[in-house]
């Protein structure tokens, strides 16, 4: 009896070892994204259909968008992910740091099909989103009319939430201080301009609650912790549409930006990662995300495929483009590090 | 007879001392390799930074030929162009630009630009390079490069104290808009002190009450104290956000009781942070005090009173000195743990309640400046160890004997 069980064990063990040595029969692709309603939308629009089409397994991880996590993977030589979603300025930083690979666009799509600034050397655009202002209509009796109303503590007293980063906040501070939209980055490129922006932020510093993750603004509004918050438009729209929250979005003086996806250095399934990028660059596929979260396509030929009922919710809808700023990636690539340092020092003081 | 027996006892003693050490050796080795070595490796980044020196071999040689301070001559610029070209090919330019940028704000983009130009073999001369990167035409930039070529640096450790080397070669304060860390260290120690005192104020009477309860009831009260202790710190912190938020349980209760007329701002404030940290740390202060209190004989206090001491005198001169080791051990434990708090300040504290760990995490994760993170970690570790040594040496406290 004892001998039999030992033989069985041995057989089982060797089977297990052999099983581990052989490659898995189904191919796998692993993506790391920034979670929340947005990642759920990516899953429904692209990840699951792609997995089905290719007959592969699609794994997902979440992170908060810091380059440090990818850098640590690359430096230790253990890169368990094949694709990663990143902000545009992080693409530039990761590209220079050699953490993200330079893409071979012949395997993706014709670069000219992308909106200007969305087909970068190390990252390709996913969607267009707006940095907007959101509030709870049952809390604020009088509706704000511009994102810049966040600086008006007399008319709208109470705590307000902003993203814990210098990007967008400095731009809005200058706009609120009277700098014309066309000159924002010119002014912000000077030391006096940066001082001016921080001085404007000083006026509301004690009333600000800072958020890190994109899922926080709807939560802060729902718990009535703040009376208004800056946010990514899709997160708020989903809270309105799916959770039936009484929220509203203020579009005037929004900042338009792009999400990106990139391939980290030493990714194990490089071919499959490229196939995914090519798949998502199809006009019809590219327009699909809008059905699940109101972010616009970065492909110029995808607009006809965006569902009619989604169009008026996009940051690029004509009604939302009366006064807006396009986030300057190059500026943040160049000055990001210094301004983040200054911002953190300012926060701590 | 004794002349034979004595040396025998001597050898047994020596072996007795070594045997426990041999038993502990596997654990000590594991600690050394999995704990000690990585810590030393990381902390060494605070003082050893070869990035700039590695990127500029030709420039260093040329700078040695170049006499005097200030902006050097043509040969150094030619060498710099060659170095940048090489670094670009090896993919090391970014690391170099980032390392220089830490010392010379704004250098990053200019270095990257000039490296791109150098690779295309245009404009490798002094004039053209200064045109592409105006910083290279300034004296202070070359002072930064010269000090940067030294592989061992005091830059990060000085920065951790808001200090820097000035142009005149003396140590001075950094500009006011960059001074952060002294303030943050001060805040970390202040909050740790407040939380330690708050837990002591709660734990001392509680431990005293538990000691004097019937064993069955005492056991139940202890379980009540320990139950949250076994829950994840993240869960407890999240629970506090539910209680403390503006429309949360505590504010509802206070309004209902009529104690406040307005909803208090407890979330994202220092008050909320201290409340949550005090709750989380309570068992750490309580348990050492309780274990010592249980071993104190009640007859001693009674004896003091029977000899004529008033209750307060009996408490102050007989009871307190006996439980003092437990009080100190509990407080020290809580204080040291508070110094390293990370997740609770993130979730409950406001922007001006972030502790030093939050800054270390930011340098590691977001800014990718692991040298600065290492320097801050070093200061934190050194001050913690210093505190421990001071307390054990001068107050006669021995945590190892407490166990």
What residue spans define the domains of chain A?
26-128+259-313, 130-256+318-348
Which residue of chain A is at minimal alpha-carbon distance from B243? A223
pLDDT for res B139: 86
pTM (two decimals): 0.81
How many Cβ pairs closer than 8 A exist between chain A and B?
A: 81
Distance between A346 CA and the closest CA of chain B, angstroms: 7
Q: With 70 as the cut, is the pLDDT of residue A1 above it?
A: no
Query: Chain B partners of A339 at a C-beta cutoff of 8 Å?
Result: none
Burial degree of B279 (CB within 10 A; 0-12, 13-18, 19+)? buried
B204 and B140 in a single domain? The answer is no
CA A227 vs CA A3, A208, B154: distances in Å: 73, 11, 46
Q: With 80 as the cut, is the pLDDT of residue A9 above it?
A: no
Q: Are B110 and B134 in contact (CB under 8 A)?
A: yes
* C-alpha–C-alpha distance, residues B254 and B258, integer Å: 6
State the maximum Cα–Cα separation within chain A, in Å, rounded to a whole number. 88
Q: Which phi and psi angles does B264 have, rounded to 5°?
A: -80, 150
CB pair distance less than 8 Å for B367 and A337? yes
Alpha helices in B245-319 (DSSP H): 249-257, 270-295, 298-306, 311-314
pLDDT for res B367: 77
CB pair distance less than 8 Å for B366 and A67? yes
Best of B190, B241, B351 to disrupt the A interface (most A CBs within 10 Å) is B351
* Residues whose CB falls within 8 Å of the CB of residue B183, separated by 6 or more in sequence, listed in order: A348, A349
B264 and B345 in a single domain? The answer is yes
pLDDT for res A58: 93
B248 and B373 in a single domain? The answer is yes
* C-alpha–C-alpha distance, residues B354 and B28, integer Å: 35
Which residue of chain B is at minimal alpha-carbon distance from A95? B94
* Residues whose CB falls within 8 Å of the CB of residue B373, separated by 6 or more in sequence, listed in order: B360, B363, B364
Query: Chain B partners of A348 at a C-beta cutoff of 8 Å?
Result: 180, 183-184, 351-352, 354, 359
* C-alpha–C-alpha distance, residues B286 and A195, integer Å: 49
List the one residue out of B140, B134, B139, B174 whose CA is nearest residue B155: B174
Which residue of chain A is at minimal alpha-carbon distance from B116? A96
Q: With 70 as the cut, is the pLDDT of residue A223 above it?
A: yes
B78 and B211 in a single domain? The answer is no
**Does the CA dihedral B86-B91-B92-B96 come out positive or negative?**
positive
For residue B170, tell me if it sits in a domain. Answer: no
Q: With 50 as the cut, is the pLDDT of residue A289 above it?
A: yes
B75 and B129 in a single domain? The answer is yes
CB pair distance less than 8 Å for B94 and A66? no
CB pair distance less than 8 Å for B352 and A347? yes
Distance between B297 CA and the closest CA of chain A, angstroms: 50
pLDDT for res A76: 87
Which residue in the set A68, A346, A347 is minimally distant from B364, CB to CB?
A68
Low-confidence ranges of chain B (pLDDT < 70): 1-15, 121-123, 396-403
Place of tokens 């094949």: A82
Which residue of chain A is at minimal alpha-carbon distance from B356? A348
Place of tokens 């060494």: B44
B322 and B228 in a single domain? The answer is yes
CATH number attached to the domain at A130-256+318-348: 3.40.190.10
A317 DSSP 8-state letter: S
CB pair distance less than 8 Å for B105 and A341? yes
B205 and B317 in a single domain? The answer is yes
Is A130-256+318-348 the same fold as A26-128+259-313? yes
* Residues whose CB falls within 8 Å of the CB of residue B283, separated by 6 or more in sequence, listed in order: B225, B226, B228, B229
Is A215 strand, coil or helix? coil
Q: With 90 as the cut, is the pLDDT of residue A30 above it?
A: yes
Angle at A129 between CA A57 and CA A118, to 5 degrees: 75
CATH number of the domain bearing residue B324? 1.10.3720.10
- Residue B236 domain boundaries: 181-402
For residue B5, tell me if it sits in a domain. Answer: no
B335 and B241 in a single domain? The answer is yes
For residue B23, tell me if it sits in a domain. Answer: no
pLDDT for res A137: 95
B257 and B343 in a single domain? The answer is yes
pLDDT for res A291: 92
CATH superfamily of A26-128+259-313: Periplasmic binding protein-like II (3.40.190.10)
B125 and B199 in a single domain? The answer is no
pLDDT for res B341: 94
B138 and B267 in a single domain? The answer is no
CB pair distance less than 8 Å for A347 and B365? no
CB pair distance less than 8 Å for A164 and B351? yes
B148 and B189 in a single domain? The answer is no
Q: Are B73 and B126 in contact (CB under 8 A)?
A: yes
The mean pLDDT of A123-128, rounded to a whole number, is 95
DSSP string, A125-164: EEEEEEEEEEEETTT-SSPP-SGGGGG-TTTS-S-EEEES
pLDDT for res B253: 93
CB pair distance less than 8 Å for A345 and B105? no
pLDDT for res A5: 54
- Total domains in the fold of chain B: 2
For residue B33, tell me if it sits in a domain. Answer: no
Residues of chain A in Cβ contact (below 8 Å) with chain B: 66-69, 71, 96-98, 159, 164, 208-210, 212, 223-225, 333-335, 337-338, 340-342, 344-349
For residue B29, tell me if it sits in a domain. Answer: no
């Amino acid at each position: 009896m004892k001998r039999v069980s030992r033989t069985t064990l041995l057989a089982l063990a060797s089977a297990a070892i052999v099983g581990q040595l052989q490659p898995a029969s189904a191919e796998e692709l692993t993506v790391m994204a920034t979670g929340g309603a947005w990642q759920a939308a990516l899953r429904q629009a692209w990840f699951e259909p792609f997995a089905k089409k290719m007959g592969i397994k699609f794994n997902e991880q979440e992170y908060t968008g810091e380059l440090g996590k990818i850098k640590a993977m690359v430096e230790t030589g253990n890169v368990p992910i094949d694709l990663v979603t990143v902000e545009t300025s992080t693409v530039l930083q990761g590209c220079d740091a050699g953490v993200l690979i330079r893409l071979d666009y012949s395997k993706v799509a014709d670069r000219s099909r992308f909106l200007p600034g969305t087909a970068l050397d190390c990252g390709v655009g996913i969607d267009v989103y707006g940095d907007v202002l959101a509030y709870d209509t049952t809390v604020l009796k009088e509706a704000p009319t511009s994102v810049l109303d966040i600086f008006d503590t007399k008319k709208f007293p109470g705590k307000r939430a902003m993203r814990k980063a210098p990007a967008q906040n400095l731009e809005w501070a200058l706009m609120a201080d009277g700098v014309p939209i066309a000159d924002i980055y010119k002014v912000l490129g000077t030391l006096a301009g940066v001082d001016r922006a921080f001085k404007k932020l000083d006026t509301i510093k004690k009333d600000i609650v800072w958020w890190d993750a994109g899922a926080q603004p709807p939560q802060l509004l729902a718990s009535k912790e703040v009376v208004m918050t800056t946010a990514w438009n899709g997160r708020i729209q989903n809270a309105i549409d799916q959770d039936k929250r009484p929220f509203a979005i203020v579009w005037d003086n929004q900042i338009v930006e792009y999400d990106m996806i990139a391939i980290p250095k030493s990714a194990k399934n490089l071919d499959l990662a490229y196939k995914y990028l090519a798949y998502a660059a199809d006009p019809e596929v590219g327009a699909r995300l809008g059905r699940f979260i109101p972010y616009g396509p970065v492909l110029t030929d995808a607009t006809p495929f965006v569902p009619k009922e989604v169009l008026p919710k996009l940051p690029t809808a004509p009604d939302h483009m009366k006064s807006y700023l396009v986030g300057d990636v190059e500026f943040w690539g160049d000055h990001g590090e210094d301004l983040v340092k200054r911002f953190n020092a300012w926060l701590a003081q | 007879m004794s002349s034979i027996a004595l040396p025998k006892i001597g050898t047994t003693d020596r072996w007795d001392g070594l045997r426990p050490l041999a038993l502990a050796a596997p654990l000590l080795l594991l600690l050394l390799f999995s704990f000690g070595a990585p810590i030393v490796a990381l902390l060494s980044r605070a003082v050893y930074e070869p990035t700039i020196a590695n990127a500029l071999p030709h420039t260093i040689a040329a700078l040695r030929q170049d006499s005097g301070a200030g902006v050097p001559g043509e040969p150094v610029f030619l060498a710099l162009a060659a170095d940048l070209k090489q670094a670009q090919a090896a993919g090391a330019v970014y690391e170099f630009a980032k390392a220089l940028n830490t010392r010379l704000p704004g250098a990053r983009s200019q270095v990257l630009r000039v490296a791109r130009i150098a690779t295309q073999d245009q404009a490798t001369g002094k004039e053209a390079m200064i045109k592409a990167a105006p910083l290279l035409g300034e004296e202070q930039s070359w002072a930064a490069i010269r000090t940067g070529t030294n592989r061992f640096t005091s830059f990060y450790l000085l920065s951790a104290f808001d200090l820097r080397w000035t142009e005149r070669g003396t140590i001075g304060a950094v500009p006011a808009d960059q001074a952060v860390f002294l303030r943050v260290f001060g805040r970390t120690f202040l909050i740790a002190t407040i939380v330690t005192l708050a837990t002591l104020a709660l734990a001392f009477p509680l431990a005293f009450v538990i000691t004097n309860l019937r064993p069955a009831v005492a056991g139940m009260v202890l379980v009540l104290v320990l139950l949250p202790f076994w829950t994840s710190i993240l869960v407890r912190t999240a629970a506090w956000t539910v209680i403390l938020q503006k429309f949360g349980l505590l504010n509802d209760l206070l309004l209902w009781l009529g104690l406040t007329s307005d909803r208090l701002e407890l979330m994202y404030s220092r008050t909320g942070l201290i409340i949550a940290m005090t709750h989380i740390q309570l068992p750490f202060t309580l348990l050492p005090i309780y274990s010592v209190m249980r071993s104190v004989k009640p007859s001693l206090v009674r004896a003091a009173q029977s000899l004529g001491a008033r209750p307060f005198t009996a408490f102050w001169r007989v009871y307190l000195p006996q439980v003092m080791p437990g009080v100190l051990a509990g407080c020290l434990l809580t204080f040291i743990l508070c110094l390293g708090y990370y997740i609770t300040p993130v979730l409950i504290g406001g922007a001006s309640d972030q502790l030093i760990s939050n800054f270390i995490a930011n340098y590691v994760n977001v800014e990718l400046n692991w040298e600065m993170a290492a320097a801050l970690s070093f200061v934190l570790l050194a001050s913690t160890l210093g505190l421990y040594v001071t307390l054990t040496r001068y107050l006669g406290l021995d945590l190892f004997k407490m166990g």
